[in-house]
């Protein structure tokens, strides 16, 4: 069975180099998600949303080894992926409020944010919808003879879609530069993974495709970064795809309709207090002496302010003109 080459990384050095950037990005995502929820509660949002608070390390740590020219395919819970890949909070927030200045000119909303300029080929409203598309992106990279890679994010629910099998099989037989990143947040809407699959780890399924599969503590951004780096290295070297399973947790409900009857408050509380990815990284950096508590507080404040400015931009932006309803249906 194929295994992922693991090399020891100098964790102290990595944290010194990237720690602040990652911490800030995770704080930015958290503030984005919390602000999105508040905007929804205050009646300013027309549609629904799927918040990724709690899953920030998976987004930031996975995308950190990517180059600007690399691609990602995201999910319905995709705000963090977009921000981590270099998306602008203001244009995301504008899209969230359905404004003409949004990434999709108000046509897509939260579930369809795409930023082609940063290589984000789009969030996706269909569970597993982006997974077969990754095959085509991988093929295209191979045929264009670039050394780009594509990361396709999906959830534990998507791993039970038939398209998952088709995609992993095709990418593996053709050694495509695709990194499959399963964000296993334990529930497909309400269905726990323990009831929806017989295997213990989704990464075990990699064996069926003869590719490496690894399960990672998705709340530890450094662990996520390490696995992603090695998978990216493998993909760039033409050795083929990898299946990574980031064990993570979403703090909020699946979407706004969720009464969360399938899990306890205690469980949510435990993840928030003991395994929060932002707290984890901050404490680690403070312990290592590469950050002070005051500096962390300042960064958090800056992230909050960036999101406030994003909301201002979004609220001041014009609505799309109904005269342009059909714009963009056809090229």
Partner 1 sequence: MSTREITYLEAIREALQQAMHADERVFLIGEDIGVYGGAFGVTRGLLDEFGSERVIDTPISEAGIAGACIGAALTGMRPVGEIQFMDFVTLSMEQLVLQAAKLRYMFGGKATVPFVLRTPGGAGTGAAAQHSESLENWFVHVPGLKVVMPSTPYDAKGLLLAAIKDDNPVIFVEHKLLYRTKGPVPTEMYEVPLSRSEVKREGRHLTVVATSLMVQRALEAAETLAQEGVELEVIDPRTLKPLDARPIINSVIKTGKLLVVHEAVKTGGFGGEVVAVIAGSDAFDYLDAPILRLAGADVPIPYNRTLEYHAVPQVENIVETARRLAGGEV
Interacting residues toward partner 1 by CB under 8 A:
71, 73, 102-108, 112, 114, 116, 121-122, 124-126, 129, 131-141, 143-144, 150, 162-163, 166-167, 169-170, 173, 327-331
Cβ closest to partner 1, residue 167 vs residue 184: 167
33 vs 115 by CB, closer to partner 1: 115
Element of type H or E holding 71: strand 71-73
Q: 120 forms bridges with which residues in the sheet? A: 72, 115
- CB 13 → partner 1: shortest distance, Å? 34
49 vs 150 by CB, closer to partner 1:
150
The least distance separating partner 1 from the CB of residue 10, rounded to whole angstroms, comes to 34
Shortest gap between Cβ of 94 and partner 1 (angstroms)?
Answer: 11
What is the sign, positive or negative, of the torsion defined by CA atoms of 11, 16, 21, 25?
A: positive
3-state class (DSSP) for residue 110? helix
Say how far apart CA 249 and CA 276 lie, in whole Å.
9
- CA 50/CA 32 separation, integer angstroms: 12
Q: Which is nearer to partner 1, 134 or 222 (CB)?
A: 134
Residue 256 CA to chain centroid, in angstroms? 19
| Strand residue runs (E) in 15-173 | 71-73, 150-155
Q: How far apart are CA 6 and CA 15, in angstroms?
A: 18
Q: Which is nearer to partner 1, 167 or 185 (CB)?
A: 167
- Report how many helices (DSSP H) and strands (DSSP E) the chain contains, helices first: 11, 7
Distance of closest approach, residue 212 Cβ to partner 1, in angstroms: 21
CB nearer partner 1, residue 48 or residue 140 = 140
Give the nearest distance from C-beta 157 to partner 1 in angstroms: 15
Tokens of 280: 């984890």
Question: What is the three-class DSSP state of 36?
Answer: helix
Buried b (16+ CB within 10 A) or exposed e, 249-275: bbbbbbbeebeeebbeeeebeebeeeb
Q: What span, in angstroms and rounded, lies between the C-alpha atoms of 242 and 151?
A: 10
Query: Quick one: 61 or 129, whose CB is closer to partner 1?
Result: 129
The CB-of-76 to partner 1 minimum distance in angstroms stands at 12
Least spacing, CB of residue 143 vs partner 1, in Å: 6
* Smallest separation (angstroms) from partner 1 to the CB of 71: 7
| Closest CA relative to residue 23, chosen from 250, 309, 284, 306 | 284
Classify residue 318 by its DSSP letter: P
Choose between 127 and 311: whose C-beta lies nearer to partner 1.
Answer: 127
191 phi, psi to nearest 5 deg: -80, 115
At closest approach, how far in Å is the CB of 230 from partner 1? 23
Nearer to partner 1, 101 or 242 (CB): 101
Distance CA 299, CA 73 (A): 28
């Amino acid at each position: 069975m194929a295994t992922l080459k693991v090399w020891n990384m100098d964790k102290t050095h990595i944290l010194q180099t990237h720690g602040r950037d990652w911490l800030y990005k995770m704080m930015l995502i958290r503030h984005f998600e919390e602000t999105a929820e508040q905007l929804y509660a205050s009646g300013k949002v027309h549609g629904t949303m799927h918040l990724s608070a709690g899953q920030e390390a998976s987004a930031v740590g996975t995308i950190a080894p990517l180059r600007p020219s690399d691609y990602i395919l995201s999910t319905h819970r995709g705000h963090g992926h977009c921000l981590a890949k270099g998306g602008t909070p203001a244009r995301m927030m504008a899209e969230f409020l359905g404004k003409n200045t949004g990434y999709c000119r108000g046509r897509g909303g939260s579930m369809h944010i795409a930023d082609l300029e940063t290589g984000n080929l789009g969030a996706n409203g269909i569970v597993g919808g982006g997974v077969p598309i990754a095959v085509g992106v991988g093929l295209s990279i191979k045929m264009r003879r670039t050394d780009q890679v594509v990361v396709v994010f999906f959830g534990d629910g998507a791993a039970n879609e038939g398209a998952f099998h088709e995609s992993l099989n095709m990418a593996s037989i053709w050694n495509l530069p695709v990194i499959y990143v399963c964000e296993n947040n334990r529930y497909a809407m309400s269905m726990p993974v323990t009831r929806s699959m017989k295997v213990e780890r989704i990464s075990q399924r990699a064996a069926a495709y003869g590719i490496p599969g690894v399960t990672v503590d998705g709340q530890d951004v450094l662990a996520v970064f390490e696995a992603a780096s090695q998978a990216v290295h493998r993909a760039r070297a033409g050795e083929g795809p990898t299946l990574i399973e980031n064990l993570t947790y979403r703090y909020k409900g699946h979407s706004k309709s969720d009464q969360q009857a399938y899990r306890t408050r205690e469980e949510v509380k435990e993840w928030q207090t003991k395994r929060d990815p932002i707290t984890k990284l901050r404490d680690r950096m403070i312990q290592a002496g590469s950050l002070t508590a005051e500096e962390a507080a300042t960064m958090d404040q800056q992230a909050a302010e960036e999101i406030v400015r994003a909301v201002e931009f979004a609220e001041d932006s014009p609505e799309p003109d109904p005269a342009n309803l059909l714009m963009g249906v056809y090229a």
